[in-house]
Amino acid sequence: MLIVQKYGGTSVGDIERIKNVAKRIVETKRAGNDVVAVVSAMAGETDRLINLAYKLTPDPDLRELDVLISTGEQVSTALVAMAIISLGYKAVSLQNHQIKIVTDSSFTKARIRKIDAYKLNALLDQGIIPVIAGFQGIDEEGNITTLGRGGSDTTAVAIAASLMDYRNDIICEIYTDVDGVYTADPNIVPDAKKLDEISYEEMLELAVSGAKVLQARSVGLAMKYNIPLYVKSSFTDSEGTLITKETQKMIEEVVVRGIASDKNQAKITLLGIPDDPMVIIELFKAIADANIVIDMITQTSSVEGLTDIGFTVSKPDFKKAFEISKDFAKKNGLRNVEGDLNVGKVSVIGIGMVSHAGIASRMFTALARSGIKVQMISTSEIKISCIIKESDVEKAVKVLHEEFKLSETEQRSQRSKIKN
């Protein structure tokens, strides 16, 4: 089996931890697997480098910022490779320019275009463990780029995907400082349970809805190529969470898989808009032109040719979006525009939900019984989200975790089957 192991910043945070990472890689190799390691910068290093840049100038050139911060991962690759070699195994560190992880030229937030895995596969065939710098790439002109925060997860999945031309039976293990994906944030719900398994779609909704275990981009990429992701702690030997394709069993057995929450929400409501698609499109186009992402949108049914529209944006985008909305209202003679920064989102997530009636009504009833007023609702096949008062968010997570009896969920474990 080919195992791509990604180690985050805390996992390679100091010399002792790097030695442990090397031991874990060597054990995986010794067990008969091929291993590719993808490493982040040592915890704190990226911030140290960014601070150097901002001490120099308030507006650092983005190309040079990427040249600067990409050194963090390079240091980690060299140290991890050294540590593996000192244990008597063969390893080589590889930078972006050495295995050609080609990205576009959007410095500080580049997207991977292609990876030529030929060299990587040749190294694996020689029994060598490649240790690859996560988070970075190189554009067509050879400039150094970075993928944005958390980009090392994406590197690991992209490396795994690129090796599918040469190998089957590939898994991507993400080592981090939490030991898996939980039914809710354990800081809010102390008896939240660790999930043994979750589908890509559910994980994607959890990630987008504020769970910080994995970058949504890396989950989407894993889903696209159907690469199993296994998230686990590098500090303990406890089992983690397997993120994989939905199984029939998943759909049939479990309805609600987890509760996610996100306080980084703000709401804008426009009252009395003409119920004319061309007018409404004009509003959303103006907001999109300002590079603002809209999360939820609701529209009430039309009364006398007029309708109300509510939508949410992230808190930092609120001010700009509110201005655009007010300009739009003025231009179109609307009755009123309301803005509210004190909102948050709570979401119930589960792949089986779509075929089970009554989840939504159980959700609303539970919230109402606890005195939590729902301001907006949005539903998808595997998620129901409600906008509520920001100060109600923790309480709502607890109430819903209790309502759907998630601490009692009997967790499936297919990990052992996949691992062996």
Nearer to a second copy, 60 or 220 (CB): 60
Q: Which residues bind a second copy (CB under 8 A)?
A: 15, 18-19, 49, 52-53, 55-57, 59-61, 63-65, 67-68, 70-71, 74-75, 77-79, 81-83, 85-86, 92-93, 95, 97-98, 142-144
6 labeled part of a ligand binding site: yes
Report, in Å, the least distance between residue 65 CB and a second copy: 7
Report, in Å, the least distance between residue 255 CB and a second copy: 49
Report, in Å, the least distance between residue 115 CB and a second copy: 15
Residue type, 374: V
What's phi and psi for 286, nearest 5 deg? -60, -40
**CB-based contacts of 204: which residues, under 8 Å, 6+ apart?**
216, 219, 220, 223
Nearer to a second copy, 30 or 48 (CB): 48
- Residue whose structure tokens are 């474990």: 413
Report, in Å, the least distance between residue 110 CB and a second copy: 16
8 labeled part of a ligand binding site: yes
Spatial distance between the Cα atoms of 2 and 171, rounded to a whole number of angstroms: 7
DSSP strands (E only) in 224-327: 229-233, 241-244, 258-274, 294-299, 306-313
46 labeled part of a ligand binding site: yes
Burial label for 126, CB within 10 Å (0-12, 13-18, 19+), is: exposed
32 SS3 class: coil
155 labeled part of a ligand binding site: no
274, two tokens: 């003409």
Report, in Å, the least distance between residue 66 CB and a second copy: 8
Spatial distance between the Cα atoms of 225 and 161, rounded to a whole number of angstroms: 6
Report, in Å, the least distance between residue 12 CB and a second copy: 11
129, two tokens: 């463990």
Spatial distance between the Cα atoms of 75 and 42, rounded to a whole number of angstroms: 8
312 labeled part of a ligand binding site: no
182 labeled part of a ligand binding site: yes
DSSP strands (E only) in 46-128: 91-94, 101-103, 112-115
Give me the count of residues in the chain. 420
Nearer to a second copy, 42 or 386 (CB): 42
Binding site feature residues for substrate = 46, 73
Binding site feature residues for ATP = 6-9, 176-177, 182, 212-213
Binding site feature residues = 6-9, 46, 73, 176-177, 182, 212-213
